[in-house]
């Protein structure tokens, strides 16, 4: 998704939420692109880490959809795998999740994991 498409999606979301239109400065567009690129890189890295941590030998990063469920019908992971993913979060990102309900929410998909990790990173 290019900067123009990202800008348009952000404008549409803002308009739906507030009823007001917004225009982006070049600096805001650059920041939006950088944020998008960082998130894409993080999702790719997460997919690689998941494959390695869970020894998913026949799976490639491009086989894992960002928004697909990691458990059940999606990637088909189980409760033991969820523990491995929690260890991955601790070791790789220094993030410890204490609340099991929060853990289930975080581990729904690669997208939800990436958003959580990004939210815990210093600005």
Domain 3-120: give its CATH code.
Answer: 1.10.1200.10
Domain boundaries, the chain: 3-120
- Is pTM beyond 0.75? Reply is no
Residues 13-62: tens digit of each pLDDT = 544 555 555 565 665 555 556 666 889 999 999 999 999 999 999 999 99
| Cβ-based neighbours of 50, under 8 Å, separated by 6 or more | 56, 64, 70, 85, 88, 110
pLDDT of res. 87: 96
């Amino acid at each position: 998704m290019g900067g123009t498409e990202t800008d348009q999606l952000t404008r549409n979301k803002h308009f739906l939420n507030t009823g007001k239109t917004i225009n982006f400065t070049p600096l805001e567009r650059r920041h939006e692109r950088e944020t998008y690129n960082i998130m894409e890189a993080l999702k790719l890295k997460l997919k690689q880490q998941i494959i390695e941590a869970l020894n998913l030998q026949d799976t490639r990063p491009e086989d894992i959809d960002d928004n697909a469920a990691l458990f059940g019908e999606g990637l088909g992971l189980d409760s033991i795998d969820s523990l491995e993913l929690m260890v991955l979060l601790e070791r790789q990102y220094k993030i410890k999740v204490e609340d099991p309900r929060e853990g289930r929410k975080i581990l729904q998909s690669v997208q939800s994991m990436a958003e959580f990790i990004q939210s815990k990173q210093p600005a």
